[in-house]
Amino acid sequence: MATAQRWAALARDTNETKIQMALNLDGGAFPPETDERLIKGDGSHASQSSKSQTIAINTGIGFLDHMLHALAKHAGWRYTFARALGTPTGLARYGYAYAPLDEALSRAVVDLSNRPYSVIELGLKREFLGQLSTEMVPHCMQSFAQGARITLHVDCIRGENDHHRAESAFKALAVATRMATSRVAGREGEVPSTKGTLTA
């Protein structure tokens, strides 16, 4: 039985932000009607194309681009999570991962619970990573948990270099999210919840 690809695209233009985003949780091509601006790399530091992914991120803040690129790359996505996920049936629901970067080691645990909550403990010491205020690193993860309506725990277990601590945390989050969103053979159409729903 063929499974439908889980994808979404959106654009948001406000006085504060201009966001164009496309996300395909399963990788591969987007439908032909998808706006080309959403799926083509712009050659920036955080752009990458392969057979399975196109990642194009340009926030104007280099380190944030780098972290979002790591999240997209290691989760196996193209960037609008809750919309792309749709009705969460046939999924693992839970995911966890450890990810190292040199001396740093981080852990992430994800539950596609429709219960937005996050605990983020990275132990960052510096005020900035490049142009990015370090307080924005956990804020980005907290915002992801709220917007995606997931429960998320991320912590850096060890590490001296704040860049490594942050990047290993984003990579652990990516791999844990990939695990949680993976399809489970034999559970097609089943909601992974004793309540029978993850949408209410």
pLDDT tens series, the chain, 200 aa: 456 667 766 666 666 556 666 666 666 666 777 766 665 655 555 555 555 556 666 666 677 777 777 766 665 554 445 556 667 777 888 999 999 999 999 999 999 888 889 999 999 999 999 888 999 899 989 988 887 788 999 999 999 999 999 999 999 998 999 899 888 787 776 666 656 666 65
CATH superfamily of 7-181: Imidazole glycerol phosphate dehydratase; domain 1 (3.30.230.40)
Half-sphere exposure of 177 (CA within 13 A, CB side): 29
| Per-residue model confidence (pLDDT) at position 20 | 63
Q: Give dist(CA 92, CA 188) in Å, integer.
A: 11
In tens, the pLDDT along 140-167 reads 899 888 877 889 999 999 999 999 999 9
* Spatial contact of 166 and 121, defined as CB atoms under 8 Å apart: no
Copy the structure tokens of residue 34.
Answer: 């998808």
Burial 103-123 (b: 16+ CB within 10 A, else e): ebbbbbbbbbbbebebebebe
Give tens-digit pLDDT for 31-55. Answer: 777 766 665 655 555 555 555 556 6
pLDDT of amino acid 159: 98
Please tell me the predicted confidence (pLDDT) of residue 79: 43
In 3-state terms, what secondary structure has residue 118?
A: strand
